[in-house]
Amino acid sequence: MRGGSGDILLALAVVFAPLSLASFGGGNAVLADIACQSITVHHWTSEREFADLFALSRAAPGPGSMLAALIGWKAAGVGGALVATIAFYLPGVFLVYGVARLWRRWRGSAWHAALERGLAPVAAGLLVSGGVVVLRASPGGIPVWTAAIVTTAVLLRWPRLHPLPLLLAGAALFGLAAVL
């Protein structure tokens, strides 16, 4: 599978670039399609390997979709990882950058201000919705809900608290519960 042949790199770009523009509402929207492409269509990973890579991408810091990098890496080494990452992020980046440029051109006009004020509550609502959706899909049940709500309260009370100690506490608590 290795050897970083141009064909595999091209295939990675062709698979991941359109997914970048299809992923409304974040990278998880296209997870099913990434799985299908890399397991069934291109045989970059086995089903087991895909599950492992997904777990690994969840354990790493940064934006969730390091999954693309890992699949590219499995298919064609570090070059494959770079190609898959760039293909997965760059089309969306160019699009949003272009729209932002147009948007800023009208800064200061009355309707621009109204638009921005109107978008803010929708943005905040979508953010909270994302959390609710993930919570409902999580197999963790009541402990996960409780931990999420307690964390919310703590961070609203002390907004500048660094989340990393909270995260470590969460990992330790849940890990301990699994051992005991």
Partner 1 sequence: MSQAEHESAAARGSRLAAPHPVGLGRIFLAFLRLGGTAFGGGTAGWLYREIVLRRRWIDDATFLGLLAMVQIMPGSNGVNLTVLIGRELHGVAGAAAALIGLLTAPFAIVMAIGTVYGGLGEHAVIAQMLDGVAAMVIGLTFATGLGSLARSTTDPAAWLIASATVVAIGVLRWPLLPVVAAMIPVSIALALVRRHRR
Q: Which of 1, 10, 14, 22 binds partner 1 (CB under 8 A)?
A: 22
Interface with partner 1, residue 76, by CB under 8 A: no
- Report the C-alpha gap between 2 and 120 in whole angstroms: 47
Instruction: Select the span of 7-15, 33-41, 148-156 touching partner 1 (CB under 8 A).
Output: 148-156
Residues 89-118 that bind partner 1 (CB under 8 A): 89, 91-93, 95-97, 99-100, 103, 110, 113-118
Task: List the Cα angle 87/39/81 in 5-degree steps.
Answer: 30
Interface with partner 1, residue 178, by CB under 8 A: yes
Q: Which of 1, 5, 26, 43 binds partner 1 (CB under 8 A)?
A: 26
Cβ pair 68, 45 in contact under 8 A: no
Q: How far from the centroid of its chain's Cα atoms is residue 42's Cα?
A: 22
- Report the C-alpha gap between 110 and 100 in whole angstroms: 18
Q: Which of 9, 11, 34, 57 binds partner 1 (CB under 8 A)?
A: 57
Residue closest to 2 by CA, chosen among 81, 55, 62: 81
Interface with partner 1, residue 132, by CB under 8 A: yes
Q: Which of 3, 6, 40, 59 binds partner 1 (CB under 8 A)?
A: 59
